[in-house]
Amino acid sequence: MYPIEIQNIGNKDLKIVTIGGGTGNSTILRGLKKFTTNITTIVTVADDGGGSGVLREELGILPPGDIRACLIALANTEPAMEKLMQYRFNEGKLKGQSFGNLFLAAMNDIYGDFDKAVKEAGEVLAITGKVLPMTLEDVVLYAELEGGITLKGESNITEKNKDFKKKINRVYIEPKLSDPLDEAIDDIMDADLIIIGPGSLYTSIIPNLLVKNIAEALNRTNAKIYYVCNIMTQDGETDNMGVKEHVEAINRHLGYDIIDKIVVNNDIIPNEVLQKYEAKPIYYTKADEEKLDNYEVLLCPCYYLLDKYIRHDAERISKYIIDDFNKDIVKIYDM
């Protein structure tokens, strides 16, 4: 099974906002830019692990890793430039560090402002749309586990909980009253369509929703809000969680029920593929149907196999969401 290919279709004026981080958000962006040139992605900056964590600690900048991934996903440059931005050093003090992270660190030093640095990087990479950090404040992510255990730091939450095997009751950020960019709030309010996910539920998606005023904006916007549920659970983070548990966690942290439609994979993953994973596939079940009867659930094939590993089919998911959105618009005009 391979991802479908879509070229130059869709309503190029459609205003889309995505919210997330990690590979999930950057993956969906690659599909969306085939449909519209008007994309804003709001990206978590709570990462404190890997190369991003090193730069955060040594240079005092916001972690650039998820920002870098989204810039690359939206870039319209030569393949050589993407290879350069993705390149990781193999030796010396820079071993494991991404050139793209260093590029953003240099831009931050030049302009003295992380938001300005990201915008200028976007110009260099000729991106479609724009990439906005969820906040410009130095936030730290915490998780409260069942049994009274608290874990500090985004990188610790999943890794340490692989040993604890505890349910995550909630996550929160410090400082709690971190401010979003005004531009992010404006774009949420002005959007036609908002897509939350896919991505790590507690460490990539929910941190964005904890920033002051973002939850309220999502509750007030007239945009249709789609939640793209993950294809698989995540070891140490969403063990044994189904669709309804993912939605309940988002609502609990937001304080609002803002999701209009839920996108769930309905293509059965072969057992020989699942054997490679500790995680389990997430399908829409009878139990989900009973608890989520007030939501519209869109079932579609959401994955493809790359070297026998599961990957989100970004173009297929994007097409399915936008076709569904346009169908609703036609219904409104026909009334």
Pairwise CA distance, residues 25 & 21, whole Å: 5
Share of the chain above pLDDT 70, in %: 95
**Is the predicted pLDDT of residue 210 greater than 90, yes or no?**
yes
What is the structure's pLDDT at 308? 83
**Is the predicted pLDDT of residue 2 greater than 60, yes or no?**
no
What is the structure's pLDDT at 7? 44
- Domain boundary assignment for the chain: 16-46+181-334, 48-133
Do 98 and 87 form a contact (C-beta atoms < 8 A)?
Answer: yes
Top pLDDT among 270 and 4 is at 270
Pairwise CA distance, residues 259 & 52, whole Å: 31
Query: Where are any strands of DSSP class E within the chain?
Result: 16-20, 39-43, 130-133, 140-145, 150-152, 168-174, 193-196, 224-228, 261-265, 296-300, 303-306, 309-312
- At 219, the amino acid letter reads N
- At 216, the amino acid letter reads E
Do 211 and 43 form a contact (C-beta atoms < 8 A)?
Answer: no
Report the pLDDT averaged over residues 65-85: 92
**Is the predicted pLDDT of residue 121 greater than 60, yes or no?**
yes
Pairwise CA distance, residues 319 & 86, whole Å: 27
What is the structure's pLDDT at 279? 93
Superfamily of domain 16-46+181-334: CofD-like domains (3.40.50.10680)
Query: pTM of the entire structure?
Result: 0.93
**Is the predicted pLDDT of residue 22 greater than 60, yes or no?**
yes
